[in-house]
């Protein structure tokens, strides 16, 4: 039998920044590291080297990532960089990370697990095989709590939105094989996951790159397409929540699955604007679709559908009239959840060259105006839920009760259902509650009688 104490440990510090897609990359790297017997720590102390998973989406994220690399270099000295910033060049075409921090050991772009592992092996050879430290749970290493998990279905994007540089960092759409995605979901379900958050850059486009090729799951042929994916996931006894869905006509096909309770009646659709001219300047996918009509049709099919969206204020050339068009759209669309960002130029994005940039202060002012405008709409929609009974999933217990979420609330970005008498519940429990009150973001509830 192997003697544990005789095996020299190798410890990798891991720092992860960025969006759920970056977190999903991080989980794959962590799973491989752990599978090969590396110890993992969230800091620098005692680490033999540090991997920094970066974000390069907007300039503020670039700064944050460069600072994190600088800190890791100062505290530890041996740093491997991965993630979106790793693929980003400056105006002169030089690699931003290497130019700013020439002492980093290696740099890779996003979704580059093999390259990161090669770099780790080169600078910190794997420890000798030891069955005690090589154990990785079948569901891999996850950065989310045990009861929910992200399921990344594709990488990259075929669109070229003018404010975005993700396609230049992550490349064109590459859909994961449907059999592999469904197997991963099954493993997560078996590990006790209660909610799956389906993510990608463009979830509705799943399978386009492989012409909806037929794959296999459990010996059964299944098309690589969002509808078939959702149908299969809907059989796995977990909440299934869709993020980053564009309003293509094909999305209509998913609504019956929501009506039947197979997947959650929730759509995260990043509309970004309502003015036709601005959407064209943004080069948004599905910008010419009749969005309000589509939303009305969705709600007809699934009356309790929750729609979340994000918008950009102060995009180059946005006039006051076009901004007001956006506010009018919000009045009509009555979206449940809205996030807003003041336009922030991203180096390398085509939108930077557009004429008539909106002054910084006005972009911010419009963002605040949009949020205030939406606040009344969201509050009214929350008030309409008072008195209703619903099923919620518990995320956390604290002195105020149980912090839970309903079908209408995605983790981290939406509101909570606070169960004031839920102290005895456990994280990951489903509970039936009655809604008694609300504020601007959250609902308050008590446990419903059985
Ligand atoms: S859809 Fe547009 S914003 Fe989203 S990743 Fe693709 S190019 Fe970027």
DSSP-based helix, strand, coil % in the chain, nearest 5: 35, 20, 40
Determine which of 57-66, 80-89, 260-269 has the lowest per-residue pLDDT on average.
Answer: 57-66
Ramachandran sector of residue 103 (left: φ over 0; alpha: ψ -120 to 50; beta: rest): alpha
160, pLDDT greater than 70: yes
Question: Among the listed ranges 114-118, 277-281, 396-400, which one has the minimum average pLDDT value?
Answer: 114-118
Report residue 346 as tokens.
């991203």
- Tell whether the model's pLDDT for residue 450 goes beyond 90: no
To test the ligand 1 pocket, which listed residue (19, 20, 157, 171) has its Cβ within 8 A of the most ligand atoms?
157
Nearest CA to ligand 1 atom 5: 201
pLDDT attached to residue 142:
66
Q: pLDDT category, 265, cuts 50, 70, 90?
A: very high
Quick check: 150 and 244 in contact, CB under 8 A? Answer: no
Average pLDDT over residues 400-410: 97
Q: What is the pLDDT of residue 55?
A: 86
Q: Is the pLDDT of residue 128 over 90?
A: no
Say if CB 50 and CB 78 are below 8 A apart. Answer: yes
pLDDT digits 0-9 by tens, 180-190: 999 999 999 99
Whole-number pLDDT of residue 276 = 93
Q: What is the mean pLDDT of the chain?
A: 89
pLDDT band for 42, please (50, 70, 90 cuts): confident
First to last CA, the chain: 53
Count of alpha carbons within 13 angstroms of residue 323, beta-carbon side? 24
State residue 138's pLDDT score. Answer: 60
pLDDT above 90 (res 103) = yes
Whole-prediction pTM: 0.76
Asked whether residue 40 carries a pLDDT value surpassing 70, the answer given is yes
Q: Is the pLDDT of residue 367 over 50?
A: yes
**Mean pLDDT across the stretch 424-450?**
95
Q: What is the mean pLDDT of residues 160-183?
A: 91
What pLDDT is stored for residue 1 in this prediction? Answer: 33
Tell which atom from ligand 1 comes closest to the C-alpha of 167. Answer: 7
pLDDT classification of 4: cutoffs 50, 70, 90: very low
| Mean pLDDT for the stretch of residues 390-412 | 96
Q: Which of 145-159, 215-229, 351-365 has the lowest mean pLDDT?
A: 145-159
CA-nearest of 46, 97, 94 to 69 is 97
- Which pLDDT does position 133 carry in this prediction? 43
Among 97-106, 136-145, 233-242, 254-263, name the one with the lowest average pLDDT.
Answer: 136-145
* Residue 2: pLDDT over 50: no
Mean pLDDT, residues 148-162 = 92
| pLDDT score, position 6 | 41
Residues touching ligand 1 (Cβ under 6 Å) are: 157, 159-161, 164, 166-167, 201-202, 285
Cα-to-centroid distance, 119 and ligand 1 (Å): 29
Distances (CA, A) of 123 to 79, 105, 249, 313: 10, 8, 50, 45
User: Is pLDDT at 86 greater than 50 in this prediction?
Assistant: yes
Residues paired with residue 267 on neighbouring β-strands, in sequence order: 242, 307
The per-residue pLDDT for 301 is 95
In the chain, the percentage of residues whose pLDDT exceeds 70 is: 94
Pocket probe mutation, ligand 1, options 202, 268, 312, 351, max atoms within 8 Å of Cβ: 202
Residue 244 has pLDDT above 90, yes or no: yes
Percent of the chain exceeding pLDDT 90 equals 68
User: Could you please report the per-residue DSSP string of 15-77?
Assistant: EE-S-HHHHHHHHHHHHHHHHTT-EEESSSTT-SEEEEEE--SSHHHHHHHHHHHHHHHHHTS
pLDDT number for residue 30: 84
Q: Flag whether pLDDT at 248 surpasses 90.
A: no
* pLDDT tens column, 282-319: 998 766 568 999 999 999 999 999 999 999 999 999 99
- The pLDDT value recorded for residue 193 is 94
DSSP 3-state of 391: strand
Q: Residue 404 Cα, ligand 1 centroid: separation in angstroms?
A: 31
For ligand 1, pick from 110, 154, 166 the residue to mutate: most ligand atoms within 8 Å of CB.
Answer: 166
Going by the DSSP 8-state scheme, the letter that residue 218 receives in this structure is T
Residue nearest to atom 2 of ligand 1 (CA): 161
């Amino acid at each position: 039998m192997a003697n544990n104490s005789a095996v020299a440990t190798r410890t990798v510090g891991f720092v992860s920044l960025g969006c759920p897609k970056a977190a999903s990359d991080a989980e794959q790297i962590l799973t491989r590291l752990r599978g090969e017997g590396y110890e993992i720590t969230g800091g620098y102390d005692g680490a033999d080297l540090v991997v920094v998973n970066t974000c390069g989406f907007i300039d503020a994220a670039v700064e944050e990532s460069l600072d994190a690399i600088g800190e890791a270099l100062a505290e530890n000295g041996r740093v491997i960089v991965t993630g979106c910033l790793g693929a980003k060049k400056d105006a002169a075409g030089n690699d931003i990370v290497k130019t700013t921090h020439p002492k980093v050991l290696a740099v890779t772009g996003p979704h580059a697990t093999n390259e990161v592992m090669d770099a780790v092996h080169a600078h910190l050879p794997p420890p000798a095989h030891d069955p005690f430290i090589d154990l990785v749970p079948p569901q891999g290493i996850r950065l989310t709590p045990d009861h929910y998990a992200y399921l990344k279905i594709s990488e990259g994007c075929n669109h070229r939105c003018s404010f975005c540089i993700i396609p230049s960092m992550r490349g064109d759409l590459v859909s994961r094989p449907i059999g592999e995605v469904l197997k991963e979901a099954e493993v997560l379900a078996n590990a006790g996951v209660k909610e799956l958050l389906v993510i990608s850059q463009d979830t509705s486009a799943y399978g386009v790159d492989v012409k909806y090729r037929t794959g296999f799951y459990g010996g059964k042929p299944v098309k690589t397409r969002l509808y078939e994916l959702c149908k299969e996931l809907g059989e796995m006894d977990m909440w299934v929540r869709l993020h980053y869905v564009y309003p293509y006509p094909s999305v209509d096909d998913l609504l019956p699955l929501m009506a039947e309770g197979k997947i959650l009646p929730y759509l995260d659709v990043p509309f970004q604007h309502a003015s036709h001219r601005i959407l064209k300047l943004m080069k948004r996918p599905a910008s010419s679709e009749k969005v309000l009509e589509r939303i009305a049709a969705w709600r007809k099919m699934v009356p309790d559908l929750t729609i979340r969206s994000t918008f950009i204020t102060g995009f180059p050339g946005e006039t006051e009239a076009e901004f007001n068009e956006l506010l009018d759209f919000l009045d009509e669309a009555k979206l449940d959840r809205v996030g807003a960002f003041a336009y922030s130029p991203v180096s390398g994005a085509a939108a930077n060259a557009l004429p008539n940039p909106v002054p910084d202060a006005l972009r911010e002012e419009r963002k605040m105006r949009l949020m205030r405008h939406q606040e009344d709409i969201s509050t009214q929609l929350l008030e309409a839920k008072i008195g209703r009974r619903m099923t919620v999933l518990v995320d956390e217990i604290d002195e105020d009760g149980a912090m839970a979420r309903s079908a209408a609330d995605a983790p981290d970005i939406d509101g909570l259902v606070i169960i004031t008498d839920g102290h005895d519940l456990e994280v990951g429990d489903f509970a039936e509650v009655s809604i008694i009150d609300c504020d601007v973001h959250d609902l308050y509830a008590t446990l419903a009688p059985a």
